[in-house]
Amino acid sequence: MAERRSVPVRIRGKEFRVLTAGDEAALQRVAGLLDETMARVERHTGAVDSLDVAMLAALNLARELLELREGGALVGPDGARLRSLVEQAESALVA
């Protein structure tokens, strides 16, 4: 088993230390993707509360993950429901 080490990552200007036995560069890319997604959510919704931004970013990333797992755009009731939830959450923050 590989030795775990503490790796610093920066998300929305704050440093987090993550224990990992994996590739540090891959972890940095993951943190970068999350940081970019959160920045996009902030710009799109105008949200400033970090928890709200994090939850919307998580919804967006989960949607993208499901699309990839299912081999393309989300279709059917699950896809429509997830898109609807993301839109409702974003609308609630804008309002």
Give tens-digit pLDDT for 3-20.
999 999 999 999 999 999
pTM assigned to the model: 0.70
Higher pLDDT among residues 69 and 77, named by residue: 69
Give tens-digit pLDDT for 32-50.
999 999 999 999 999 989 9
Higher pLDDT among residues 80 and 3, named by residue: 3
CA 57 from chain centre, in angstroms, equals 4
Mean pLDDT within 52-59: 93
Q: Which two tokens stand for residue 60?
A: 């967006």
Return the pLDDT at 95: 45
Taking the domains of the chain in order of start, what are their residue ranges?
5-94
